[in-house]
Amino acid sequence: MSFPTESARSPPESEPASSPTRAETSLTPGPASPATVRGSSVTPKLPTPGPGPSSPTAAVRQSSAAPRSPTPAPPGQNAPDATGLLPGAHWTGQNLPEGEDADNDWDSTLGNDAASSTASISSSILEYRTINGRTYHSDSVTDTSYWGPNDQKQNELLDILHHTMTIALDGDLFKAPITEDPKNALDLGTGTGLWAIDFADKYPDCSVIGTEISLIQPTWVPPNLRFEVDDYNKEWTYKANFFDFVHIRWLTGTVKDWHTLYKEAYRCCKPGGWIEHIDASGTVLSDDGTVEKDMAMGQWGKIWQEAGRRLGTPLDVFDQNIQEEGLKEAGFVNISKKTYPVPLSPWPKDKKLRDVGLYFYAVLNQDLEGATQFIFGNVLGWTKEEISTYCSHLKAEIKNLKIHGYFPYRMVYAQKPHDA
């Protein structure tokens, strides 16, 4: 089994927007084995898969975080809404499968390896908000709708995610056929800056800018790289026809208007320059039916879709094919796209997909509570107990290698016409 071949420079047929597109490969479950990441000495210990998908249990130790005898909710309280979204109270009324729990430590061997908005650094930028003990970006940079923490635990998650994507892309930082000697490049939403650092190392004669709403990047970086505190939802201050390459990755749920963002990227891109955008669906799929709609995995996409609707930051960039259509509307040409699977755990038989699943499993377990706290609590109004219990169910499902869930994600790149 291999990843799909890339369609070179010609616009492919649009995928239907009514449901998430399955990744363009056949995912086959198989035994797990240790994996390594380029530049890392991590050799995780993996769980042993069971005999097949008919027995969805795993031997893990019991946690006190999820009670075994919950108080039943009032009749009707746990019913799904019209979209199939289950309320938070549903999870406190459910027992974890016997013998399965999120608090086990087989994965502990992963270790710790695994107006104008461009502003000068000021004390106000560093005055982060604190919610339930977690820090979030400063209100002085952007509004309070961005859902991710900016503390050390979340930053380590972003580092692991960078390694995960590097494996998925065969060790490449990007797939767009950019010029061999780019002069200027922009990384939107750079996070901890690892992609920008690697790109700056690869192209030492290229001036690289990484933007983020929090100052969380390292200070020891290549001399041709600088980080800026910036909100890409506001008017861009970069001059027109400037960048050889604009890179966008994993920004779903943070962009208020993708079409406006693509138009700004088009304006700032040089004629002949390239843009690449990688983002995922929030819906967990399975090719063999092991992910069911009432499972925690099956509810994940519905939860985030509803949160995006309330926040005004759409989470259906993948499902509505916004990448391809938005880039085309902005004026880009030579559009190419590929859809990949990201397994939620190391269940696939294919070694590369198994490695991707292993490290994405580490991503989810690094800070699942941080990823859910703001969305589930502040936006959807769930209680701490409901959030904690849901996370326990999700972790138990992810750990079960008989459940073959994956996120489909899409990479789209396009070029600004030479005569633009």
More confident residue, 2 or 392: 392
Residue 325: phi and psi, rounded to 5, are -65, -40
Per-residue pLDDT tens for 34-55? 443 333 333 344 443 433 333 3
On the CB side of 41, how many CA atoms lie within 13 Å of its CA? 0
Residue 344 near residue 284 (C-beta atoms within 8 A): yes
Tracing tokens 């027109």 back to the chain, one arrives at 240
Pick the CATH number of 89-415 from 3.30.460.80, 3.40.50.150, 3.50.50.60, 3.30.110.40: 3.40.50.150
Q: Which of 7-11, 232-236, 384-388 has the lowest mean pLDDT?
A: 7-11
Structure tokens at 275: 């843009």
pLDDT at 277: 98
CA 406, distance to chain mean position in Å, is 12
DSSP, collapsed to helix, strand or coil, labels residue 10 as coil
Residue 131 near residue 378 (C-beta atoms within 8 A): yes
Alpha-helical regions (H) of 190-257: 194-202
- Amino acid of residue 159: D
pLDDT at residue 225 above 70? yes
Give residue 26's pLDDT band: very low, low, confident or very high (50, 70, 90).
low
Task: Outline where DSSP puts E strands in 181-251.
Answer: 184-188, 207-212, 225-229, 243-249
**Angle of CA points 171, 48, 95, to nearest 5°:** 110
Q: Give the separation between CA 318 and CA 131, rounded to whole angstroms.
A: 30
Per-residue pLDDT tens for 356-415? 999 999 888 877 877 788 788 888 999 999 999 999 999 999 999 999 999 999 999 999
Residue 20 near residue 285 (C-beta atoms within 8 A): yes
Residue 336 CB-density burial (10 A; 0-12 exposed, 13-18 middle, 19+ buried): buried
pLDDT at 114: 35
Residue 364: phi and psi, rounded to 5, are -65, -40
DSSP, collapsed to helix, strand or coil, labels residue 394 as helix
CA 23, distance to chain mean position in Å, is 16
Query: Using a CB cutoff of 8 Å and minimum separation of 24, what contacts does 129-133 make?
Result: 131/373, 131/374, 131/378, 132/373, 132/377, 132/384
How many helices and strands (H and E) does the chain possess? 9, 9
Where exactly are the structural domains of the chain?
89-415
More confident residue, 334 or 122: 334
| DSSP single-letter state for residue 206 | S
More confident residue, 369 or 324: 324
H/E element holding 391?
A: helix 384-399
Selection from 197, 164, 161, 90 nearest residue 371 by Cα: 161
Per-residue pLDDT tens for 274-307? 999 999 998 999 999 999 999 999 999 999 888 8
pLDDT at residue 126 above 70? no
Number of C-beta neighbours around residue 129 at 10 A: 14
pLDDT at 104: 47
Mean pLDDT for 96-113 is 48
DSSP string, 357-387: HHHHHHHHHHSHHHHHIIIIIIIT---HHHH
Q: Give the separation between CA 376 and CA 147, rounded to whole angstroms.
A: 10
More confident residue, 239 or 191: 239
Q: Give the separation between CA 324 and CA 320, rounded to whole angstroms.
A: 10
Residue 416 near residue 272 (C-beta atoms within 8 A): yes
pLDDT at 373: 81
More confident residue, 64 or 225: 225
Selection from 262, 352, 298 nearest residue 27 by Cα: 352
As a three-state string, the secondary structure of 279-297 is: EECCCCECCCCCCCCCCHH
Question: Averaging pLDDT over each range in 31-35, 52-56, 58-62, 236-240, which range is the top one?
Answer: 236-240
CA 104, distance to chain mean position in Å, is 24
Per-residue pLDDT tens for 144-199? 445 445 556 767 777 888 888 999 999 999 999 999 999 999 999 888 888 999 99
Q: Which of 24-38, 236-250, 332-346, 371-385 has the lowest mean pLDDT?
A: 24-38
Selection from 155, 205, 167 nearest residue 185 by Cα: 205
H/E element holding 408?
A: strand 406-415
Alpha-helical regions (H) of 102-202: 152-168, 194-202
pLDDT at residue 80 above 50? yes
CA 343, distance to chain mean position in Å, is 12
Question: Averaging pLDDT over each range in 24-33, 64-73, 316-325, 373-382, which range is the top one?
Answer: 316-325
Give residue 95's pLDDT band: very low, low, confident or very high (50, 70, 90).
confident
| DSSP single-letter state for residue 143 | -
Per-residue pLDDT tens for 105-118? 445 444 443 333 33
Mean pLDDT taken over the chain? 75
Q: What whole-number percentage of the chain has pLDDT above 90?
A: 43
Mean pLDDT for 133-139 is 45
